[in-house]
Amino acid sequence: MQTKPILVIGATGKTGSRVSARLDALGHPVRRGSRQSATPFDWDAPETWPSALEGVGSAYISYFPDLAFPGAVEKLASLCETAKAAGVGHLVLLSGRGEHHARLGEDVVRASGVDFTIVRAAWFAQNFSEGQLRAPVLAGVLPMPGGDTPEPIVDIEDIADVAVAALTQDGHRGQLYEVTGPRLMTFAEMAAELSAAIGREIRYMPISFDEFHATVARSGGEFVADVFTAIARETLDGRNAHLCDGVQRALGRPPRDFADFARAAASSGAWSTAA
């Protein structure tokens, strides 16, 4: 059992909240890193970093909103320098599969001089239940670009399990775990699984990348739309249309299937209008 706290950066996010909860359940000391936490951490306020890293044995790093945003890789490099100076012994980085800037971030962590583990993740299944795609699912549609390009969508519960294993067990340092689900799925197939789990039709609506950009811009603005459309163009061009064994190698078990995610999310009320 570790005695030094484990810093979880992005502790209120999709993965960070799960990582923190698992570490708590296992009895590990956890320092939650967010703007509102007891020891604040803010990517846009580097003056908060030394206090958050002080006395920490290891750290889970997830960059919000995405490593593709301008300045993100540079901030990650500065964070690694601060972590090394603070004596942090191990960094676990959440990275994005098939993303150019995420690969640059991985290179920064590899070159940091601190032991590392990289968790390179496919698209999150929970984007449909907790993220931007929840509202369209509630409306009965799944509007996505990429056509019939398949994606090995991954359950965030698996990502959290891999990250916690890397943070608390021996044998994971220096490893790259590329985590995917157990099968390739088109968005039309995902919509069918969501329909079966929710009990009403969720219709896949193929849209162009320009239409995707316009949709994101309406809620997040042009700049955010530019970045997320660039990510979508990268990750949905076929480069990610293959499975990887990161979950199996890290945990000794296969990844969860999307159908299991959909049933569990529906049972928990994820798509209830009162949620």
pLDDT digits (tens, 9 = 90+) for 88-102: 999 999 999 999 999
Q: Within a 10 A sphere around the Cβ of 21, how many other Cβ atoms? A: 15
CB 203 within 8 A of CB 191: yes
Query: Tens digit of pLDDT for each residue in 200-245?
Result: 999 999 999 999 899 888 878 898 889 889 989 999 999 999 999 9
Residue 25 lies in a domain: yes
Q: How many domains does the chain have?
A: 1
User: Which candidate, 231, 254, 236, 233, places its Cα nearest to that of 244?
Assistant: 254
Q: Residues 71-85: what's their mean pLDDT?
A: 98
Residue 120 lies in a domain: yes
Residue 274 lies in a domain: no
Q: Within a 10 A sphere around the Cβ of 245, how many other Cβ atoms? A: 13
User: Cα(24)–Cα(123) distance, rounded to whole angstroms?
Assistant: 26
Residue 165 lies in a domain: yes
Residue 145 lies in a domain: no
Residue 230 lies in a domain: no
Residue 196 lies in a domain: no
Q: If pLDDT is split at 50, 70 and 90, which confidence band does 132 have?
A: confident
User: Cα(124)–Cα(233) distance, rounded to whole angstroms?
Assistant: 16
Residue 55 lies in a domain: yes
Kindly report the backbone phi and psi dihedral angles of residue 247, in degrees, each rounded to the nearest multiple of 5, phi listed first: -65, -45
- For residue 104, the domain's CATH number is 3.40.50.720
Domain that holds residue 46: 6-124+154-180+241-255
